[in-house]
């Protein structure tokens, strides 16, 4: 060890001598650098003979208190409570309540233009209203379930909706096939309990089965249960001869015991959902006028859209009164501010389409499997593209060979669509925009030639031509041209 230390010191001295052989300009600069020896014998023995510390590094000759005692410096301890507060794990039920926007939309009051029912005239009017999108969504989930059952059982002929503003209670009942009142062997619970009281359950997960119903992701009615203070399921299964009833409270956290009773032979099947929305979570104290009229309009939607389904004619009741809507075309005419269709047609028993003109602002009223797609989507585009392509040819002939741009044509169209799409996909759980591609619709919405001819002969053509001439003259005036349109 002594020999190694001797060789190391000699190497250091040789290195420093070489470093001091500097030019005249450097000789005047004070030398403040020095080489340091290892602090321990172990390090000295392992260090290579030609290695030394960086001469630019200055080390304090006084050892730190920690090194003097041989103790390691203490690290600042992170408080355990901070870790638990920062990093959390939530159940899906908790996540739905903490982040409702992901599942049901905003729980805040918003102001927007919406179609609502005018109780005095019985028409559908467009008004600026204040409402909570999440409350509309949970109501819609229950309502669409009742309409979906019509496709499963064509003998269903009744939907009854009651909205009580006095006690903030909503109920939706449909006849037709009930829910099986049997226990699910794998999960050891009754089927109604499972599909209404447990997230990610249902009958819509088999994508190999082509369905044209509204449900898809396994949330649906469970979201209405979670955002309610009280939620009751009642259904009759004639095959089993049983009636099932169960009540959930406290946002689905407290399930009551199911009550199973026997029913007489011949008892008609039905399903009834009654719930009291947790208005405090929607920053509300009652079902106000705007909200009530918006919910009523959705019942009208269901009455109009479900008439396309096969089997018996569907009767829809709102607060005990039957809605007098026979066809989707009749329903479009109930909308104040929308021009009646100049052409209307039905395609492949899955599409009902109407076309009319607009006053320079494109409009659409569309439904997919009874869901109101308020922002349109690929189903609306599929119709618009056909109408625009046909009108472009017609307008070119009438406009002395000059093309009219597609966007200008679209500005003067009102499109009304009610359709059934297989396994529809939407942009979000709120289902405002259809994103299913045309190739996956399950049907081809080709407009009939007779319908296209009616559109060509309508006032739509002259309206567009007049506007195109106005735009052309305006552009000429801007450029200083003298040509008159």
113: pLDDT strictly greater than 90? yes
Write out pLDDT tens, residues 225-239. Answer: 999 999 999 999 999
The domain that holds 397 is classified in CATH as 3.30.230.10
**Both 261 and 384 in a single domain?**
no
Write out pLDDT tens, residues 27-77. Answer: 444 454 444 444 444 444 444 444 444 444 444 444 554 454 555 555 555
290 in a structural domain: yes
Question: Which pLDDT score, from 0 to 100, does residue 91 have?
Answer: 87
Pick the last residue of a domain from 337, 352, 371: 337
Q: Which DSSP state fits 440?
A: G
Pick the last residue of a domain from 307, 337, 367: 337
* More confident of the two residues 332 and 63: 332
* More confident of the two residues 13 and 307: 307
376 in a structural domain: yes
Mean pLDDT of 261-271: 95
Distance between CA atoms of residues 327 and 416, nearest Å? 13
Question: Which pLDDT score, from 0 to 100, does residue 56 have?
Answer: 47
23 in a structural domain: no
Neighbours of 197 (CB within 10 A): 21
Question: Which pLDDT score, from 0 to 100, does residue 187 have?
Answer: 85
Distance between CA atoms of residues 334 and 122, nearest Å? 8
Question: Which pLDDT score, from 0 to 100, does residue 359 have?
Answer: 86
Neighbours of 209 (CB within 10 A): 10
**Both 258 and 363 in a single domain?**
no
**Both 46 and 132 in a single domain?**
no
Write out pLDDT tens, residues 94-107. Answer: 898 999 998 999 99
**Both 287 and 180 in a single domain?**
yes
167 in a structural domain: yes
Q: Which domain holds residue 459?
A: 339-485
Mean pLDDT of 287-305: 97
**Both 304 and 356 in a single domain?**
no
Q: What are phi and psi of 321, to 5 degrees?
A: -105, 130
Question: Which pLDDT score, from 0 to 100, does residue 292 have?
Answer: 98
Q: What is the dihedral of CA 320, 169, 263, 160, to 10 degrees?
A: 30
13: pLDDT strictly greater than 70? no
Asked whether the beta carbons of 174 and 256 are under 8 A apart, the reply is: no
CA-based end-to-end distance of the chain: 107
What rounded mean pLDDT belongs to the chain? 85
Question: Which pLDDT score, from 0 to 100, does residue 399 have?
Answer: 83
Cα three-residue angle 246-247-252, rounded to 5 degrees: 120
Cα three-residue angle 238-152-270, rounded to 5 degrees: 35
- 484 pLDDT band (50/70/90 cuts)? low
312: pLDDT strictly greater than 50? yes
Mean pLDDT of 118-128: 95
């Amino acid at each position: 060890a002594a020999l190694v230390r001797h060789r190391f010191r000699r190497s250091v001295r040789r290195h420093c001598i070489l470093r001091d052989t500097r030019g005249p300009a450097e000789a005047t600069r004070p030398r403040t650098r020095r080489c340091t020896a290892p602090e321990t014998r172990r390090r000295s023995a392992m260090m290579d003979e030609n290695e030394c510390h960086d001469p630019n590094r200055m080390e304090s000759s006084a050892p730190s208190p920690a090194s003097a005692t041989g103790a390691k410096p203490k690290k600042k301890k992170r408080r355990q409570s901070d870790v638990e507060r920062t990093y959390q794990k939530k159940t899906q039920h908790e996540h739905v309540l903490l982040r409702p926007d992901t599942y049901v939309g905003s729980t805040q009051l918003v102001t927007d233009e919406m179609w609502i029912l005018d109780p005095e005239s019985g028409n559908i009017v467009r008004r600026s209203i204040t409402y909570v999108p999440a409350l509309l969504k949970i109501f819609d989930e229950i309502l669409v379930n009742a309409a979906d059952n019509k496709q499963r059982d064509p003998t269903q002929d009744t939907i009854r909706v009651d909205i009580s503003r006095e006690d903030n209670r909503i109920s939706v009942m449909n006849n037709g096939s009930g829910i099986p009142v049997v226990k699910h062997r794998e999960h050891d619970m009754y089927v109604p309990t499972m599909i209404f009281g447990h997230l990610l359950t249902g009958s819509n997960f088999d994508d190999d089965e082509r369905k044209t119903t509204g449900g898809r992701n396994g949330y649906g009615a469970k979201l209405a249960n979670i955002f309610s203070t009280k939620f009751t399921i009642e259904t009759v299964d004639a095959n089993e001869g049983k009636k099932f009833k169960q009540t959930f409270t406290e946002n689905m956290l407290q399930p009551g015991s199911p009550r199973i009773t026997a029913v007489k032979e011949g008892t008609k099947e039905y399903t009834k959902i009654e719930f009291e929305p947790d208005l405090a979570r929607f920053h509300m104290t009652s079902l106000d006028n705007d909200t009530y009229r918006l919910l009523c309009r959705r019942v009208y939607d269901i009455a109009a859209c479900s008439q396309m389904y096969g089997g018996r004619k569907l009767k829809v009741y709102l607060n005990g009164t039957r809605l007098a809507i026979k066809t989707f075309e009749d329903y479009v005419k109930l909308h104040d501010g929308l021009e009646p269709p100049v052409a209307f047609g039905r395609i492949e028993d899955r599409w009902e389409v109407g076309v009319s003109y607009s006053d320079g602002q494109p409009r659409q009223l569309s439904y997919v499997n009874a869901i109101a797609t308020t922002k349109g989507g690929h189903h609306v585009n599929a119709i618009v593209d056909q109408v625009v392509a046909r009108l472009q040819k017609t307008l070119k002939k009438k406009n002395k060979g000059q093309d009219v741009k597609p966007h200008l044509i679209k500005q003067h169209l009102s499109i009304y669509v009610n359709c059934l799409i297989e396994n529809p996909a939407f942009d979000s759980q709120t289902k405002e925009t259809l994103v299913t591609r045309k190739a996956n619709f399950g049907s081809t919405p080709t407009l009939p030639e007779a319908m296209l001819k009616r559109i060509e002969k309508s006032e739509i053509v002259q309206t567009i031509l007049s506007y195109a001439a106005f735009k052309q003259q305006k552009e000429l005036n801007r450029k200083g041209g003298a040509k008159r349109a």
